[in-house]
């Protein structure tokens, strides 16, 4: 039953994330919460439109290494969990995470079981800041494609930040695109050494027009970005071929010069 319930929640979550029609969420949450290391974080879940009880609400955390994977965490404590047999309608359900650490940072979703359905909130991003620390600027690299067909794959590599505390997206010719984000390395490794990557596909026709493609990293209340265009890639390839041609020419001239000097010092003997 637990496995089936988890699969159901994952299915509902995927529907909520893929809400392309732009319809509002029935269950809403405060989008961002930032707290200091060691303090208590407070999460809010608004269920007023469903006339239900907080006893039917659970909290799940998004796995930063595996997009679309949620897991139950015992770090979240419900503030007003009514008894399941006590029929009391709630508008807002509160939860806390006591004595937060950096590992508590991430996306949290409240899930309301209502009859035969489960409703997932829009998510709350929790950021835990360490005392007297200045967040470093992340390192951003965009890997251009070596070859492409109808679409151009662009890969953005981000390091130097904790994946759960950063949001990586794209700005393609002025339009915000989410792309597909995932992070590498195991959970017990240093979070700052994890590599976050985000990939997006750009239509080849747009790419060849030279539209600006920017990888944007939102971290600690600041925004960092790096931009790549088709012209930049062409210039890079041109530079590579130019350097290779110049190097080959110099080597050839050195060989010719060395041969000429040798012939002058030791002229061949003709019989």
Q: What is the pLDDT of residue 211?
A: 93
| pLDDT at residue 78, rounded to an integer | 85
**2-129 against 139-231: fold identical:** yes
pLDDT the model gives residue 244: 63
Q: How confident is the model at residue 79 (pLDDT cuts 50, 70, 90)?
A: confident
Helices (H), the chain: 2-17, 204-208, 230-265
Of residues 264 and 228, the one with the higher pLDDT is 228
Q: What is the CATH number of domain 139-231?
A: 2.60.40.10
Q: What is the mean pLDDT of residues 223-248?
A: 67
Asked if pLDDT for residue 194 goes beyond 50, the answer is yes
14-28, 134-148, 240-254: range with highest mean pLDDT: 134-148
Section 171-191 average pLDDT = 75
Domain ranges of the chain: 2-129, 139-231
pLDDT for residue 270 is more than 90: no
Using the 8-state DSSP alphabet, how is residue 235 labeled? H
First to last CA, the chain: 100
pLDDT attached to residue 189: 55
Cβ pair 136, 120 in contact under 8 A = no
Q: What is the mean pLDDT of residues 148-173?
A: 89
Beta-carbon count within 10 A of 217 CB:
23
pLDDT of residue 245: 63
**Is 114's pLDDT higher than 70?**
yes
Cα-based distances in Å from 164 to 40, 52, 119: 18, 31, 23
Are 61 and 70 contacting, i.e. CB atoms less than 8 angstroms apart?
Answer: yes
Taking residues 189-197, report their average pLDDT. Answer: 70
Q: Tell me if 109 sits within 8 A of 123, measured CB to CB.
A: yes
Q: Read off the pLDDT of each residue in 181-199 and give the average, rounded to a whole number.
A: 69
Residue 204 burial by Cβ neighbours in a 10 Å radius (0-12, 13-18, 19+)? middle
Q: Select, from the ranges 65-69, 104-108, 130-134, the one with the highest average predicted confidence (pLDDT).
A: 104-108
Confidence of residue 224 (pLDDT cuts 50, 70, 90): very high
Cα separation values, 228 from 154, 220, 262, Å: 9, 24, 50
Question: Contact, 26 vs 119, CB < 8 A?
Answer: yes
Average pLDDT, the chain: 77
Angle, CA of 99, 102 and 108, to the nearest 5°: 85
| DSSP for 154-201, written as a single string | EEEEEESS-GGGEEEEEEETTEEE--EEEE-S-TTS-GGG--EEEEEE
Residue 52 DSSP code: B
pLDDT of res. 3: 39
Q: What is the pLDDT of residue 268?
A: 54
Given a cut of 80, whether residue 172 has pLDDT beyond it is: yes
Look up tokens 């796995």; give the residue.
Answer: 63
Confidence of residue 68 (pLDDT cuts 50, 70, 90): low
d(CA 271, CA 267) in angstroms, rounded, equals 13
Query: Has residue 2 got a pLDDT over 60?
Result: no
Contacting residues for 55 by C-beta, under 8 A, at least 6 apart:
81, 82, 83, 84, 86
pLDDT number for residue 157: 92
If you ran DSSP here, which 8-state letter would residue 265 be given?
H
Residue 106's H or E segment, with its range, is strand 106-114
* Superfamily of 2-129 according to CATH: Immunoglobulins (2.60.40.10)
**Residue 26: band (very low, low, confident or very high) from pLDDT cuts 50, 70, 90:** confident
């Amino acid at each position: 039953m637990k496995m089936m319930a988890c699969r159901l929640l994952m299915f509902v979550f995927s529907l909520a994330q893929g809400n392309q029609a732009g319809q509002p969420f029935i269950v809403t949450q405060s989008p961002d919460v930032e707290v200091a290391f060691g303090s208590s974080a407070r999460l809010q879940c608004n269920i007023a439109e469903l006339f239900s009880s907080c006893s039917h609400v659970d909290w799940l955390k998004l796995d930063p290494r595996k997009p679309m994977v949620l897991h139950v965490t015992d770090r979240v404590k419900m503030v007003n969990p009514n008894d399941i047999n006590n029929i009391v309608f709630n508008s807002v359900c509160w939860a806390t995470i006591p004595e937060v650490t950096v590992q508590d940072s991430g996306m949290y979703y409240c899930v309301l079981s209502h009859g035969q359905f489960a409703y997932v909130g829009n998510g709350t991003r929790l950021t835990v800041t360490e005392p007297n620390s200045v967040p470093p600027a992340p390192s951003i690299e965009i890997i251009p494609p070596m070859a492409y067909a109808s679409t151009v794959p662009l890969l953005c590599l981000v390091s130097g930040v904790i994946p759960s505390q950063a949001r990586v997206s794209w700005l393609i010719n002025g339009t915000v695109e989410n792309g597909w984000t995932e992070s590498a390395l195991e959970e017990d490794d240093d979070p700052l050494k994890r590599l976050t990557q985000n990939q997006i596909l750009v239509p080849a026709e747009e790419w060849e027009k030279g539209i600006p493609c920017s990888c944007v990293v939102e971290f600690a209340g600041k925004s960092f970005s790096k931009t790549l265009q088709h012209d930049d890639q062409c210039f890079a390839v041109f530079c590579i071929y130019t350097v290779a041609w110049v190097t080959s020419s110099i080597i050839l001239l050195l060989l010719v010069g060395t041969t000429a000097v040798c012939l002058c010092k030791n002229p061949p003997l003709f019989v």
